[in-house]
Every structure is written in C-alpha cells, then in structure tokens.
Amino acid sequence: MSILAQATTAAEAALTAADQKSISAAGYAGLAYGLATLGPGIGIGYLVGQSVQAMARQPEAAGMVRTTMFLGIAFTEALALIGFVVFILLKFV
C-alpha cells in the first residue's frame, strides 16, 4: 500500500505546473460542456413531452405540432452546439 502511495507521490512530483494547469483546464472545460448540454436536455424532454400530449389530445393537428416540435428541438439543440463550440475553441485554440 505504501509502495503505491509512494509511486503516486512520485508521479505527481514529476508533473510540471503547466501540466497540472492543462489537466485542470481540461477537467473544467469538460464540466462546462456537460453543464451546457444539461439545459437543452431538460428543454427537449419538456418540449417533446408537451408535443406528445398535444398530439394525443388533438391527433388532427399532429402535422402542425410535429413541425413546430422539430424546429423547437433544433433551436434548443443550438444551445448545446454553442456550448460545444465554445468548449472546442477554449480547449484547442
């Protein structure tokens, strides 16, 4: 057990400050991207749930509901895409 602890300490010491900074930056960028996809996920769930309810209540309006639902999904997804692009630009540029 102590050998393992010694090995971990040695590995940590081998990392430079720049390495540690880039590792933590990657972690935070991943966390930010995860958070950016959380909101649209909730939004799409709510949107589609309401659309399915609307189609069940008024099947004759299903075409219109599906049209607006599809556009709504794409608009909500744009938030996740913006988060993703910001993540990519922060991480690699």
Partner 1 sequence: MTSPTHVNGDAPEAMIARDMVKKAAIIGPILIVAFGFIWGVHGALSTAYGLAIVVANFVLAAAMLTWAGRISPGFVMGAALFGYLIRLSLIFLAIWLVRTASWVELVPLGITIVVTHLGLLFWEMKRVSLSIAYPGLKPTSASKESTSK
Binding of residue 25 to partner 1 (CB under 8 A): no
Output 1-10 pairs: Cβ under 8 A, ≥24 positions apart: none
The region, left, alpha or beta by phi > 0 then psi within -120 to 50, assigned to residue 58 is beta
> What percent helix, strand, coil does the chain show, rounded to 5?
95, 0, 5
61 DSSP assignment: G
Instruction: Supply 57's token pair.
Output: 């209540």
Residue ranges in 45-84 that form contacts with partner 1 under rule CB under 8 A: 45, 48-49, 51-52, 55-57, 59, 62-64, 66-68, 70-71, 73-75, 77-78, 80-82, 84
Binding of residue 35 to partner 1 (CB under 8 A): no
For the bound state, the minimum distance from the C-beta of residue 6 to partner 1, rounded and expressed in Å, comes to 36
- Binding residues (CB under 8 A) for partner 1: these are 37, 40-41, 44-45, 48-49, 51-52, 55-57, 59, 62-64, 66-68, 70-71, 73-75, 77-78, 80-82, 84-86, 88-89, 92-93
